[in-house]
Amino acid sequence: MVKHAVEANFDGLVGPTHNYAGLSWGNVASKSNVNAVANPKEAALQGLAKMKQLADRGYVQGVLPPHERPHIPTLRALGFEGTERQILEAVASTDPSILAAVSSASAMWTANAATVSPSTDTADHRVHFTPANLSAKFHRAIEHRVTGRALKSIFTDESYFAHHPALPSVSHFGDEGAANHTRFCSRYGEPGVELFVYGQVAFNEQAPAPAKYPARQTLEASQAIARLHGLSDRHAVFAQQNPAAIDAGVFHNDVIAVGNGNCLFYHQLAFLDEDRVLAELRDRLIGAELEAIRVSSAEVPLGDAVASYLFNSQLLNTPDGMLLAVPGECREVASVSRYLDDLVKTGGPITAVEVFDVKQSMRNGGGPACLRLRVVLNHEELQAINRGVILNDALYDRLVSWVNAHYRNELSQQDLADPMLLDDVRKALDELTGILGLGSIYDFQR
């Protein structure tokens, strides 16, 4: 019997060290805002406001915690010695780029936290999680251990939830998680088809690949995740991202396509072999016809799609269709704003557009869809999770007060060496694990 299921969205709470370090070559916004002064408090409040707006509309909204940064254990592993204060002084004076990397609040982009397969798709009928190794970028490659701990402390019951370690952390198995993974289905509780999008084939140097920017995800990584999660061929489609799109700044598939239910909203330059992708999805989708909304370059040039993050929107079910939750920047780019006005008039599956202000995150190349990890859960699975992370009015109020008490209004690259920052972060995170009921997930708590 098909069970009723919902899509829960787990947003990353922006961390107290949110800053602009220009760490992500290939991510246009990250590079263009390097050294700008960030406002971590505003960033966290913007993220919480988005979560609250969606929770108020009745969506199940969860919270994933920020990570401990700067991460001293990583600095020790790199040979920095002495007290924590001495380590911070040394790395700031000799290797400020390393300090920036171990200080990034990048765990906020939880679309990269993991790949999640719902229980209706997997061989053992459990929900499967694999934290992404994020091996393409040093500052992100240090996320997966704590991400794994956080996921395990939320999805604890092994009779419902299966947790895999991240894939081997090398470029051959570069994995960026749900940002390159979209699930289609007729209803959430029905078996679905999972689309894995990769940037290059690691074990074939002749295969097409981008020339300018790195492809972060490999086919081999995507296949490994599908194997680990016990997905049969009927439940998986693999598609290569268009290398030209990666070279234009589309570093994850979720910068050029988004799907929900039976709907795929995508740019014509998203996939290397568009016709095959659509045919395979149509073939494997059970109980519904695929609704493919193709945006042409004539309607929205690729550069405008990247600048506005049109496709980094959340696509959510509503009682009478689907809501596209877009970043504010979409209203600042003429072609995109015009496109959105027309979109809701077409009579297609997307019936509403709502704007969300996540500007602080956008300056690092993270839109609304980057900030959330989707987890489809049936009623029993939803009951089984740690409910302390599910946003309600009381938790929202508590988190807003917590941010106001602990976060700074300004953070520059120079501030990262301030030993007080590390103390403040740990104090805040210790309190947060209590608020969310997560137990001891951070290295400093162990």
- CA angle, 383 then 389 then 393, to 5°: 100
* Nearer residue to ligand SUG within complex by CB, 397 or 410: 410
CB neighbours of residue 3 within 10 Å: 14
27 is in an annotated binding site: yes
**Strand, coil or helix: 140:** helix
19 is in an annotated binding site: no
252 is known as an active-site residue: yes
DSSP state of 241: B
**Given the residues 18, 71, 252, 406, the one annotated as active site:** 252
* Nearer residue to ligand SUG within complex by CB, 148 or 189: 148
The strand pair at 291-295 and 263-267 is best described as parallel
CB 293 → ligand SUG: shortest distance, Å?
20
* Nearer residue to ligand SUG within complex by CB, 129 or 396: 129
379 is known as an active-site residue: no
DSSP 57-114: TT--EEEEPPPPSS-HHHHHHTT--SSHHHHHHHHHHH-HHHHHHHH--GGG-GGGTE
33 is in an annotated binding site: no
216 is in an annotated binding site: yes
Whether the CB-CB separation of 329 and 357 falls below 8 Å is answered with no
* Nearer residue to ligand SUG within complex by CB, 302 or 395: 302
242 is in an annotated binding site: no
342 is in an annotated binding site: no
21 is in an annotated binding site: yes
Residues 17-56 that bind ligand SUG (CB under 6 A): 20-24, 27, 30
In the chain, the N- to C-terminal Cα span, in Å, equals 44
Cα–Cα separations (whole angstroms), residue 320 to 6, 182, 232, 348:
16, 22, 32, 11
Find the binder of ligand SUG among 9, 112, 115, 117 (CB under 6 A). 112
147 makes contact with ligand SUG (CB under 6 A) = no
Residues paired with residue 182 on neighbouring β-strands, in sequence order:
195
Cα within 13 Å of Cα(225), Cβ side: 35
Cα–Cα separations (whole angstroms), residue 26 to 32, 208, 212, 242, 354:
11, 17, 8, 14, 28
DSSP state of 4: P
CB 207 → ligand SUG: shortest distance, Å?
23
CB 398 → ligand SUG: shortest distance, Å?
27
185 is known as an active-site residue: no
Site string for ligand SUG, 54-93 (x = CB under 6 A): ----------------------------------------
Distance CA 333, CA 151 (A): 37
* Nearer residue to ligand SUG within complex by CB, 5 or 315: 315
Distance CA 47, CA 325 (A): 13
Distance CA 204, CA 12 (A): 35
Two tokens, residue 313: 């929107």
Of 145, 208, 206, 215, nearest to 175 by C-alpha is 215
Q: Which stretch binds ligand SUG (CB under 6 A): 104-112, 192-200, 384-392, 421-429?
A: 104-112
**Which strands form 161-163's sheet, in the order they lie side by side?**
114-117, 127-131, 161-163
CB 136 → ligand SUG: shortest distance, Å?
8
CB 19 → ligand SUG: shortest distance, Å?
6
Whether the CB-CB separation of 63 and 128 falls below 8 Å is answered with no
Two tokens, residue 428: 């805040």
For residues 41, 46, 48 and 50, what is the CA-based torsion angle, rounded to 10 degrees?
Answer: 180
365 makes contact with ligand SUG (CB under 6 A) = yes
**Given the residues 7, 68, 176, 190, the one annotated as active site:** 176
337 is in an annotated binding site: no
CB 10 → ligand SUG: shortest distance, Å?
13
* Nearer residue to ligand SUG within complex by CB, 102 or 162: 102
Site string for ligand SUG, 242-281 (x = CB under 6 A): ---------xx-xx--------------------------
**Strand, coil or helix: 248:** coil
CB neighbours of residue 404 within 10 Å: 11
58 is in an annotated binding site: no
* Nearer residue to ligand SUG within complex by CB, 109 or 161: 109
109 is in an annotated binding site: no
Residues 190-219 that bind ligand SUG (CB under 6 A): none
* Nearer residue to ligand SUG within complex by CB, 36 or 293: 36
Distance CA 113, CA 162 (A): 15
CB 303 → ligand SUG: shortest distance, Å?
17
Binding residues for substrate: 21-30, 112, 139-140, 216, 254, 364
Catalytic residue list: 176, 252, 370
Instruction: Tell me which residues touch ligand SUG (CB under 6 A).
Output: 20-24, 27, 30, 104, 106, 109, 111-112, 137, 140, 179, 251-252, 254-255, 364-366, 370
Binding residues: 21-30, 112, 139-140, 216, 254, 364
